[in-house]
Amino acid sequence: MRLKLIFIIGLVAGYVLGTRAGRKRFEEIRAAATDVWENPRVQRVVTDTEDFVKENAPIVAEKVAEAAKVAAEKAAEKAKLAGTSVAEGAGVAGETVRHAAERISEVVAEATKDLTDTLGEVSRQLGDKISAVAHSKATATATTAATTAAPTTAATPFPAKPTPAAPSVTEPVTGTDADLTGETRPAV
């Protein structure tokens, strides 16, 4: 699974770097890669992998150190059986193996720490990037919602005319028909 993922990432990177399709195609590929990377299943695999490395790195370092010590002890035992001159040579060899085992253990521990630090940094950067993308999408959504919810007064070509207040029911209507129709006729 991990090798397939690495292969696919390499394939995509090679295509992106080698393509001559132009900026538009590059942006499409980058958007698709971002969508894949932000997929919850991919993030779950990344998190699981980080957790696996963090949990098993010390175990691997211990097993390598134990195996090296066992090898050094076996070499020392066999040297004792072979005789004094061989024992002296085996002692030197055993010491060399022990020294090599200690060095291997140190290198593995250092590599494990570096890997854990790197994965933590990558995870933090990805979290920051995901947060930024989510924030920008949320802002865009809020802006779109606010724009569609706001009344559009600029779209009307004519300004709104105020409507005259209707006369109160309790007030008597006074005036002539001319006031209502614009013609001059005597009131009835």
Query: In this predicted structure, what is the pLDDT of residue 180?
Result: 57
Q: In this predicted structure, which of 9-13, 124-128, 156-160 has the lowest mean pLDDT? A: 156-160
Question: Mean pLDDT of all residues in the chain?
Answer: 74
Residue 140 has pLDDT above 60, yes or no: yes
Residue type at 123? S
Question: Is the pTM for the entire model greater than 0.75?
Answer: no
Asked which of 68-77, 80-89, 131-140 is least confident by mean pLDDT, the reply is 80-89
Mean pLDDT of 90-95: 74
Local confidence band at 105 (pLDDT 50, 70, 90 cut-offs)? confident
Which comes out higher in pLDDT, residue 77 or 158?
77
Residues 6+ apart with CB under 8 A from 43: 37, 126
> What tens digit of pLDDT does each residue of 30-83 get?
898 899 888 899 889 889 888 888 888 888 788 888 888 888 888 877 777 776
For the ranges 28-32, 133-137, 150-154, the maximum mean pLDDT occurs at 28-32
Percent of the chain with pLDDT over 90: 1
Nearest to 25 by CA among 36, 15, 35: 15
Other beta carbons within 10 Å of 162? 6
- The answer, yes or no, to whether residue 128 has pLDDT greater than 60, is yes
Cα pseudo-dihedral 50, 54, 57, 59, rounded to 10: -130
CA distance 46 to 78: 46
